[in-house]
Structure 1
Amino acid sequence: MPENNMPESFVPLLSTHDWNEEWKQLQKARRQADDAAHWDERSKTFGISDAPNAYVRKFLELARIEPGETVFDMGCGTGALSLPLGQAGHKVVAADFSAGMLGVMEEQLKHRSITTVFPKQMSWEDDWASHGVRPGMVDVCVASRSIATADMKDSLLRLTDVARRRVCVTLATGSSPRTDERVLAAIGLQSVLGRDYLYAFNILANEGLMPEVSYIESTRSDSFDTADEAYQELARMVQDATGAFVAESLRRAALERLRDWLGENLVQNERAGEVDAKGRAAKRLRLRVPRSVTWAFVSWDK
């Protein structure tokens, strides 16, 4: 027998497991990622407030982008990060696959007379070099809540390649704008969400990089005109979150429980009619407790 009853060999799975392969399988089991057309349509409902929200302020604080540094913002959307960075004088290449989202950002660039942000229609999967995005092109790369790609490792290493100094991304810790573990638990579904940031952390660590993790808390004040609208929206959330992880019979039973849960958790919205930062009016009903979303801010220096 080996001394101290230890096995003859020990393989540490943490360092040998293929986290990117597991990520790929997870993505296949999840709902299909939205395409550019979906975000083109959604862009019609987007507006931008003059001041960055709490999430953006915290992201930029943690990013520690130095004066005069250049930035590549991948999956920029309507420019939540690119606009304040441009206003601060940074040169920013802002890329997104949605022409509609870029169009909203371009209107804001004109409105605010920002001339240092350069929009670029490009996806994570495109040949970046053919779009002029080259290795070592900028000081800092950022990707805010935009890594929903089939190949996590490829996405992270692309950003690392483009940055000269630093990369900063945010990923879901469980709940996200589309999913709420509290609701899933309340209706009898155990959490089926991957901890996306853990995949990123382990992939980066196994590549010899040294990622750091901080957290950004945010809340969502969902509102609805009717109880049926609330049910339809949360039912879509359940369908999206469970994907191929849950048998259809269990999903149907959970959706039945969802109606009872909403009966106890929908209340009158005292702020009905008020307009938010994106120009949307609050509706008649809201959830008793606002949804909470925690984002993992993962950063690494080159």
Structure 2
Amino acid sequence: MTIAKIDFAELYRQHMRRGNRAPKPASAWDARAKDMSRKVLHSNYVDDFIKRMDLRGASTLLDVGCGPGTVCLPLAAGMQRVYGLDYSKKMLDCLMANAKARHLDNVVPLRCAWEDDWSQVPVCDIAIASRSTAVDDIEQAIIKLNSHARKRVYMTHLVGGYFVDKQIATLLGRHHQTVPDYIYVVNILHALGIHPRLDYIETPSRLAGAKDFATFAEKVAWSFGTLKTSELDALRTWYEDDPQRACEGGGPMRWAFMSWEPRP
């Protein structure tokens, strides 16, 4: 068998189904919008993402899964128009509130999901998808991104398949609940005739900085769903065994940063 015979898009879809991860409804992100808005607009991740972008000749930008404007708002001052696309109404409310606070009048919210009809979504010079690609069908998501960019596409996808330290997933017996690693994306792009540039961004664990065990457990449950009593007991032991490790939330996360020029 050669690599050309492997259907990585189908393997990705099978992996997503096998992981048995319930998709987060818009209401789940609505509930987190204000907290995320306070935290994510100033981060090393944003700086690392933006410094890898080539903005030359670009006047319009589409940010898919924009949240409260994490990446698109720092770029908006240099653009004629920025479109923030998200399926969470509260995230878009935060996007516009943050834009107003920055005196930006060129930001347009689009309430839409990856799976929706994008026929009314504007084609822009640049399309980005930052930490928003844990979708059921990444091939179709890539095709949509590619078709909505004139000059360049930028996206990040999880490295390693876990949104928390793998040790915690193993501890909870949830080691099977992975999302497909970025290498699927690279191979799907290759199959589509797209040859991306590849880099990596490292960020602290999303479990870092929990003020107490209850907050820590809540963060873990966001990734894995409701925890049983036995799982909470095991997690508490892990948390209390090493305070420094607990403060850091375990090991860091890595994101694969991929970029390419769109092809017809």
Give the TM interval when normalised to the shorter protein: 0.7 to 0.9
Partner residue of 1:58 out of 29, 34, 48: 48
Maintained 8 Å contact 2:197/2:258 = yes
Give 1:288 deviation, angstroms.
5.6
CA 1:41–1:18 in structure 2 vs 1: closer, same or farther (change >3 Å)? same
CA 1:122–1:51 in structure 2 vs 1: closer, same or farther (change >3 Å)? closer
CA 1:49–1:31 in structure 2 vs 1: closer, same or farther (change >3 Å)? closer
Unaligned runs of at least 5 residues, structure 2: none
Length-normalised TM-score, structure 1: 0.75
CA 1:230–1:194 in structure 2 vs 1: closer, same or farther (change >3 Å)? closer
Whole-Å separation in 2 of the counterparts to 1:50 and 1:206? 34
Q: Does 1:147 align with 2:133?
A: yes
Give 1:209 deviation, angstroms.
0.9
Unaligned runs of at least 5 residues, structure 1: 1-10, 241-250, 268-284
Give 1:234 deviation, angstroms.
3.4
Maintained 8 Å contact 2:40/2:70 = no
After superposition, where does 1:20-35 map in structure 2 within 5 Å? 20-29=9-18, 30-35=20-25
**SS at structure 1 position matched to 2:260:** strand
After superposition, where does 1:95-244 map in structure 2 within 5 Å? 95-129=85-119, 132-134=120-122, 137-174=123-160, 178-185=163-170, 193-220=178-205, 222-227=208-213, 229-231=215-217, 233-234=219-220, 237=223
**SS at structure 2 position matched to 1:203:** helix
Letter of the structure 2 residue corresponding to residue 164 of structure 1: R
Maintained 8 Å contact 1:175/1:294 = no
- RMSD, matched Cα: 2.9
Whole-Å separation in 1 of the counterparts to 2:218 and 2:74? 35
Whole-Å separation in 1 of the counterparts to 2:124 and 2:145? 10
Letter of the structure 1 residue corresponding to residue 260 of structure 2: W
Give 1:224 deviation, angstroms.
3.6
Whole-Å separation in 1 of the counterparts to 2:41 and 2:29? 23
1:301 alignment partner in structure 2 = 261
Whole-Å separation in 1 of the counterparts to 2:147 and 2:248? 45
Whole-Å separation in 1 of the counterparts to 2:54 and 2:77? 16
CA 1:36–1:45 in structure 2 vs 1: closer, same or farther (change >3 Å)? same
Whole-Å separation in 2 of the counterparts to 1:258 and 1:167? 39
Give 1:43 deviation, angstroms.
1.1
Maintained 8 Å contact 1:20/1:203 = yes
Whole-Å separation in 1 of the counterparts to 2:133 and 2:169? 23
Length-normalised TM-score, structure 2: 0.85
CA 1:155–1:265 in structure 2 vs 1: closer, same or farther (change >3 Å)? same
Whole-Å separation in 2 of the counterparts to 1:149 and 1:50? 21
Give 1:290 deviation, angstroms.
5.2
**SS at structure 1 position matched to 2:96:** helix
Maintained 8 Å contact 1:189/1:254 = no
Letter of the structure 2 residue corresponding to residue 123 of structure 1: A
Give 1:25 deviation, angstroms.
1.5
Whole-Å separation in 2 of the counterparts to 1:73 and 1:265? 39
Letter of the structure 1 residue corresponding to residue 258 of structure 2: V
Give 1:46 deviation, angstroms.
3.2
Deviation string 1:218-271 (CA, Å, 9 cap, x unpaired) is 11462344435534543664558xxxxxxxxxx99876543432231235xxxx
Partner residue of 2:7 out of 2, 18, 31: 18
